[in-house]
């Protein structure tokens, strides 16, 4: 939601929280989705090296998973999630944010 509105610092913070939660519950899929979300945020914030690192980590995890679970699409901006993961939905809930479909 924040990314859609161009609020990239807030979007990055949500993805960082999702990444932390994904790592705590040892969910590779959610970790990859959080990293994939961080990439475009870093790119928009003018940190291309960080964006590249996040997207490479996400891609590596997706490849290790067989990429069948990769519900992401590449757009002109980087990688965009097509659907929020359960960790992201929980973060949105904790922050009182309504996810946009």
Q: What is the mean pLDDT of each run of 10 residues along the chain (101 residues)?
A: 81 95 93 89 87 83 67 44 57 52 38
Q: Tell me, what's the pLDDT at 43?
A: 84
Q: Tell me, what's the pLDDT at 53?
A: 85
Tell me, yes or no, whether 2 lies in a domain.
Answer: no
Q: Tell me, what's the pLDDT at 3?
A: 75
Q: Tell me, what's the pLDDT at 2?
A: 78
Chain centroid to CA 25: how far? Answer: 16
Instruction: Count structural domains, the chain.
Output: 1
Q: Tell me, what's the pLDDT at 91?
A: 58
Q: Tell me, what's the pLDDT at 80?
A: 47
Tell me, yes or no, whether 3 lies in a domain.
Answer: no
* Relative orientation angle of helices 86-95 and 28-44, to the nearest 10 degrees: 60
Query: Could you tell me the residue range of the domain that residue 59 belongs to?
Result: 8-95
Tell me, yes or no, whether 41 lies in a domain.
Answer: yes
Q: Tell me, what's the pLDDT at 18?
A: 95
Tell me, yes or no, whether 25 lies in a domain.
Answer: yes
Tell me, yes or no, whether 34 lies in a domain.
Answer: yes
Tell me, yes or no, whether 100 lies in a domain.
Answer: no
Own/partner pairs for 5-11, CB < 8 Å, 24+ apart?
6/44, 8/41, 8/44, 8/45, 9/45, 11/37, 11/41
């Amino acid at each position: 939601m924040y990314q859609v509105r161009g609020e990239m610092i807030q979007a990055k913070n949500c993805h960082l929280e999702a990444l932390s939660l994904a790592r705590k519950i040892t969910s590779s899929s959610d970790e990859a989705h959080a990293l994939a979300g961080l990439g475009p945020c870093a790119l928009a914030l003018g940190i291309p090296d960080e964006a590249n690192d996040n997207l490479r980590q996400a891609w590596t995890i997706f490849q290790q998973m067989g990429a069948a679970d990769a519900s992401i699409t590449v757009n002109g901006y980087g990688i965009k999630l097509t659907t929020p993961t359960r960790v992201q939905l929980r973060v949105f809930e904790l922050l009182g944010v309504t996810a946009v479909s």
